Homo-oligomer: A and B are copies of this chain.
């Protein structure tokens, strides 16, 4: 809201609650540095000590898991505006790798900022817990997808979910959207071989259900697909009614005392 140069976390969280000026200022202060990252560059490596959370201001990132036989899979896709690192915050070291999938900008929110957040801005802390809970729901859907669907439905589900999440992020952009993944990577995300992904995509095209103009995809039979896979969009509603009140703790300057150098 208002001034204080539109932080990425602020815009992300404002989707759910109306942040007070104090809350906005607190966030913006702690997240003022932006780090550009090129496609393919690591954001978090396995074994890294965890240091707070990060906001993906622009670009896409993915969570990867590598096995010793050289394979790797994609466990999670982060879209612009999403909060990364909530899964690793409880462990001292990262279990998984986070990599930029496209060029982008990340805003680290250092861990030393978390303690004052919990003490002075309880509503923000609650918001963070709620965001983490949505992450869990997303992961459950993914696990459900991997465990119970056949290859065709896995692919359909993957594309439907991408589209749906992009719509939430960018607000209503229809059935055409960008998919910055190679077929190999799509295979890693849905647990299939790249070559079978290819055959399925081609069959979708031949059936007139999608159009592909790399890197864009258009879903021509979205309604049918959503029935096919019983698609439910889990990212629509957040329940914020249980949140504590904002309780602004005083003048904005208060923040300075929270970082005792």
Contact = CB atoms under 8 A, between A and B. Distances in A.
Contact of A140 (B87, B92, B141): B87
A2 interface: no
B133 A91 contact: yes
A234 B93 CA distance: 10
Q: Which of A73, A114, A133, A245 is packed against the most chain B CB atoms within 10 Å?
A: A133
A139 B143 contact: yes
A134 B244 contact: no
Q: Which of A50, A68, A126, A243 is packed against the most chain B CB atoms within 10 Å?
A: A126
A89 interface: yes
21 contacts: A50-B239, A52-B242, A65-B144, A73-B147, A75-B143, A86-B136, A89-B129, A90-B130, A90-B133, A90-B134, A91-B134, A91-B234, A92-B238, A112-B242, A118-B244, A119-B247, A122-B125, A125-B125, A136-B139, A139-B140, A147-B190
A191 interface: yes
Interface of A: 50, 52, 63, 65, 67-68, 71, 73, 75-76, 86-93, 95-96, 111-112, 114-116, 118-119, 122-123, 125-126, 128-137, 139-144, 146-148, 190-191, 230, 232, 234, 237-239, 241-245, 247
A16 to B, nearest CB: 9
B91 A137 contact: yes
Given A140-B76, A148-B71, A239-B50, A125 B118 contact: yes
A210 B116 CA distance: 50
B132 A136 contact: yes
Contact of A129 (B129, B146, B243, B245): B129
Q: Which of A50, A147, A237, A239 is packed against the most chain B CB atoms within 10 Å?
A: A147
Contact of A244 (B87, B115, B232, B247): B115
B96 A140 contact: yes
A50 B230 CA distance: 22
Contact of A90 (B50, B114, B137, B147): B137
Contacts of A147: 73, 75, 146, 190-191
